[in-house]
Amino acid sequence: MLSHPWIVYTVAFLNVRIEKARNAPTRGASAVEWVIITAIIAGVALGLATLIKTLVEGKQGEIENQFGGGGGGGDGGGEVGDQG
As a whole number, mean pLDDT of residues 19-40 equals 78
What confidence category does residue 1 fall into, taking pLDDT thresholds of 50, 70 and 90? low
Cα angle for residues 55, 56, 61 (degrees, 5° grid): 100
Residue 21 lies in a domain: no
As a whole number, mean pLDDT of residues 6-34 equals 77
Residue 55 lies in a domain: yes
- Provide the residue type at 29 as one letter: A
**How far lies 36's CA from each of 3, 28, 29, 39, 52, in Å?**
43, 12, 11, 5, 24
Residue 17 lies in a domain: no
What confidence category does residue 54 fall into, taking pLDDT thresholds of 50, 70 and 90? very high
pTM for the model? 0.46
Residue range of the domain that includes 58: 29-65
Residue 59 lies in a domain: yes
As a whole number, mean pLDDT of residues 29-58 equals 90
Residue 84 lies in a domain: no
Residue 47 lies in a domain: yes
Counting the structural domains of the chain, the total is 1
Average pLDDT along the chain:
79
